[in-house]
């Protein structure tokens, strides 16, 4: 199987041209686990197929698998790399693309460098979803957890969004936290760490799985641990559902930006510093408005791997 290794701010995936490589659908999950293995495979945070589509309103489909073989609905860094792949490999000459992932269309603008290769990608990620059932986060289990934590029923910390999970108190792994839950096509729980907690030494390996697999989140969750620098900048580490800690998460950067604005911590445009670089996101605070994400996409190498 021919493949290309790419990354967005260190969030790396193996990319496969689905029009050229005929991989049976029932083999893709196992293949994702194999190629993602950093000792016995190529090494990546997952596997992404770039598929042709028959709908004339869509240019390509992104079919994404996590490192553990589970399907994922969306990856912000991944979709930027898909856009770079199709342009750089001359599968299209369009600089404005529509790419679908899990049935959701994303609108993409490419910036082309002097070498006629994509240098950066801007993605309209769509409007954030805050309704708990759609994130999803279980309202009943959240209320039960919050009552255990605070002795009272949870209510939103932002009166403009009374049904949303904003700065909600929860107890996870015997510790008290506050979460803001956002879907950007996939579920996110954003946690703002207190001033006395150092983000660099924060034990994400210990607490990340506890969030991911908590009963509050029926489809598991990605979790962002955030320190706010100022009104336009934050630092974030992410534990990704089905993968573990990654160097970046595009949808996580979007969810972090939304959470910052909902909690009144930043302005509308935020540089999100992740372990692998910087992703810039903006949102105007209106639930009808899209989150705009912009960042790099990098090709590492191309190769061929033997598969069963």
- Two structure tokens written together for 218: 């029926």
CB contact at 8 A, 228 and 265: yes
What is the C-alpha separation between 87 and 247, in angstroms, rounded? 25
Query: Got the DSSP string for 112-138?
Result: E-TTSSEEEEEEE----B--GGGTT--
Element (DSSP H or E) covering residue 100:
strand 96-101
Which residues, including other chains, have CB under 8 Å from residue 160's CB and lie 6 or more apart?
none
Contact 24, 60 (CB under 8 A): no
Cis upstream peptide for 231 (omega within 30°): no
Tell me the per-residue pLDDT of 224-254, one tens digit each, with 9 for 90 and over: 999 999 999 999 999 999 999 999 999 999 9
- Catalytic one among 9, 81, 181, 249? 249
* Known active-site residue 249: yes
What's the pLDDT band for 52 if we cut at 50, 70, 90?
A: very high
Dump pLDDT digits (tens) for 117-149: 999 999 999 999 999 999 999 999 998 888 777
> Do the strands 222-230 and 187-192 form a parallel or antiparallel pair, or are they unpaired?
parallel
Set 9, 75, 81, 253: catalytic member: 75
Cβ-based neighbour number of residue 160 at 10 Å: 11
Distance CA 2, CA 138 (A): 42
Q: What percent of the chain has pLDDT over 70?
A: 99
Of the pLDDT bands very low, low, confident and very high (cuts 50, 70, 90), residue 32 is: very high
Going along the chain from its start, the domains and CATH numbers come out as: 2-125+296-304 (3.10.310.10), 132-289 (3.10.310.10)
Catalytic site includes residue 81: no
Tokens of 71: 């399907």
The closest of 176, 260, 173 to 224, measured between CA atoms, is 260
């Amino acid at each position: 199987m021919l493949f290309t290794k790419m990354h967005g701010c260190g969030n790396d995936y193996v990319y496969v041209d689905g029009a050229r490589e005929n991989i049976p659908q029932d083999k893709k999950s196992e293949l994702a686990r194999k190629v993602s293995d950093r000792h016995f495979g190529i090494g990546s945070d997952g596997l992404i197929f770039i598929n042709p589509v028959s709908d004339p309103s869509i240019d390509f489909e992104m079919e994404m698998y996590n490192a553990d073989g589970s399907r994922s609905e969306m990856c912000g860094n991944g979709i930027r790399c898909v856009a770079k792949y199709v342009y750089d490999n001359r599968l299209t000459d369009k600089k404005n693309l529509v790419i679908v992932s899990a049935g959701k269309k994303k609108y993409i603008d490419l910036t082309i460098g002097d070498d006629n290769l994509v240098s950066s990608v801007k993605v309209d990620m769509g409007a954030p979803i805050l309704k708990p059932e759609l994130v999803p986060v279980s309202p009943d289990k959240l209320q039960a957890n919050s009552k255990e934590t605070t002795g009272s029923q949870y209510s939103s910390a932002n009166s403009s969004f009374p049904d949303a999970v904003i700065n909600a108190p929860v107890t996870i792994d015997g510790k008290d936290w506050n979460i803001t839950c956002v879907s950007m096509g996939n579920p996110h729980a954003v946690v703002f760490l207190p001033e006395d907690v150092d983000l660099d030494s924060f034990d994400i390996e210990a607490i990340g799985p506890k969030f991911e697999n908590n009963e509050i989140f029926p489809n598991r969750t990605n979790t962002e641990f955030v320190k706010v620098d100022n009104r336009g900048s934050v630092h974030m580490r992410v534990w990704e559902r089905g993968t573990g800690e990654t160097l970046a998460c595009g949808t996580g950067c979007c969810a972090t930006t939304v959470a910052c604005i909902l909690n009144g911590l930043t302005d509308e445009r935020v540089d999100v510093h992740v372990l692998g670089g910087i992703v810039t996101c903006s949102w105007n605070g209106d639930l009808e408005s899209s989150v705009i994400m912009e960042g790099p996409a990098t090709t590492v190498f191309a190769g061929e791997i033997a598969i069963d």
